[in-house]
A and B are shown apart, each in its own frame.
Chain A
Amino acid sequence: MVDRRQTVAVTFDGVDAEGVVGESVLECARRNGVTIPSLCFLEGLSVWGGCRICVVEVAEDHRLRPACATQVVPDMEIKIETPRLRAYRKSILELLFAEGNHVCAVCVSNGKCELQDMAVHCGMDHVRYDYRSPLREIDASHPKYVFDPNRCILCTRCVRVCDEIEGAHVWDVSYRGEQALLVTEMNKPWGESLSCTWCGKCVAVCPTGSLAYQGRAIGEMEHDPVMIKRLAVARSRNEWLYPEESK
């Protein structure tokens, strides 16, 4: 199939690239093999724009914009690796690490964690801020999965995947600010949830060790966020419908 969409010329840190009208800066960068660090964004889900890791600078305008939610426009000059942005990304990661209990050495996702990878990529080697060391209760009531809110970074991928792809809306965020916490149903143990279908998509998309399979030891948990992209793409092409159904 020939892509007839209109293209535009953009630059990433001075390097020319081709963008397609209507796509976001982040999508454009990925297609062109340019890395823009990001956390809450996941292909196949709606854009959330909350983690603020993917903020980029555009041309002379000093305002930062989230790459996941900014559309490419002709002759856009996008800056990713400026001293300011590097420093900001590091600070934002430090804030995330200080906010929860991210102790890699005892985490199921150690070595397979998007947050950890991001910290390595951005060169975050220490945290300047005081650790908040929250004491949030772990929910291991579900027969298949376990939820550790202390490792949650509130990216809301699980909330979005459960609502948008699975259609169950078991998860949501409760309270606000620092107290914000993921809940299942009426803040009941996950295992008692009537709406959970045990589909495991929330576990698949979790970027940290917050959602994991039961019984996994340190470093044994591997997530599969790309699965959501496969689902979303297949669904958009009506791949599971007979031709007469796919109107």
Chain B
Amino acid sequence: MSDTMRSVAGASNRQQGDHPSGDNRFDLVDKHLKRGRYAQDQLIETLHVAQDVFGFLSEDILVYVARALKLPPSMVYGVATFYELFTFDPPGDHSCTVCTGTACFVKGADEIVASVSNTYNVPAGKTAEDNSLTLKTARCLGSCSLAPVVVFDGDVLSHQTSESTVSLVGAALGGDA
């Protein structure tokens, strides 16, 4: 790895906490980049770290990562959009993920998605306009014995029905209002 590559991210002798971009969260990304020695194969890991830090991947972040790893911007954009888990919009206040794996499908997961989507006017995979709720579907959470599974704000809930999920989401949304 050449020296020029190392200095790209501006990680040289500066104090912790005054990142040139004006956003100190980039320090955490820099740390990861440094640990990976700016190797280009660290792209996906770096995007994971950046998404953990910022919550989503904005264009600025993608440009930053592309410059740091010396990758063409179109390539970074191509990789980021290829993978399902990277998001480019800020997430909503609450998140509801419905597992749509085979076991959950057999037990009616698509009805849960449809009823949450209709009740709260959020298309699957999107965030509501008032930013209150993000509705996601997951391929398989691997908790097939608990089907149908819903993850609401990080809590795994087993054996859900349309009604139980809708009322649960309603309680959380109502509680905020």
Q: Pick from B11-19, B68-76, B97-105, B127-135 the stretch touching chain A.
A: B68-76
Query: Is B82 a contact partner of A176 (Cβ separation < 8 A)?
Result: yes
* Interface range for A: 10 to 19
Query: Is B63 a contact partner of A172 (Cβ separation < 8 A)?
Result: no
Asked if A187 CB lies within 8 Å of chain B CBs, one says yes
Q: Which residue of A lies closest to B83 (CB)?
A: A176
Asked if B77 CB lies within 8 Å of chain A CBs, one says yes
Q: Which residue of A lies closest to B74 (CB)?
A: A172
Asked if B62 CB lies within 8 Å of chain A CBs, one says yes
Query: Is B72 a contact partner of A173 (Cβ separation < 8 A)?
Result: no
Q: How many A-B residue pairs have CB under 8 A?
A: 42
Q: Pick from A39-47, A73-81, A135-143, A178-186 the stretch touching chain B.
A: A178-186
Asked if A214 CB lies within 8 Å of chain B CBs, one says no
Complex contacts, A184 vs chain B, CB 8 Å? 74
Complex contacts, A171 vs chain B, CB 8 Å? 74
How many Å from the CB of A46 to the closest CB on chain B? 15
Q: How many angstroms between the C-alpha atoms of A13 and B110 in the bound complex?
A: 50
Asked if A195 CB lies within 8 Å of chain B CBs, one says yes
Asked if B3 CB lies within 8 Å of chain A CBs, one says no
| Contact A172 to B77, CB < 8 A, known contacts A186-B59, A186-B62, A186-B63 | yes
Chain A 194-229, CB-CB to B under 8 Å as 1, else 0, gives 010000000000000000000000000000000000
Top-10 shortest CB links A-B: A172-B74, A169-B72, A172-B78, A174-B81, A185-B73, A175-B81, A186-B73, A174-B78, A172-B75, A186-B77
Beyond A183-B78, A186-B74, 18 additional contacts (C-beta under 8 Å) are A168-B72, A170-B74, A172-B72, A172-B77, A172-B78, A173-B78, A174-B77, A174-B82, A176-B82, A183-B74, A184-B74, A185-B73, A185-B74, A185-B77, A186-B63, A186-B66, A186-B73, A195-B72
Can you list 16 A-B contacts with CB-CB less than 8 angstroms, sorted by A residue number? A168-B72, A169-B74, A170-B72, A172-B74, A172-B77, A172-B78, A175-B82, A183-B77, A185-B72, A185-B73, A185-B74, A186-B59, A186-B63, A186-B73, A186-B76, A195-B72
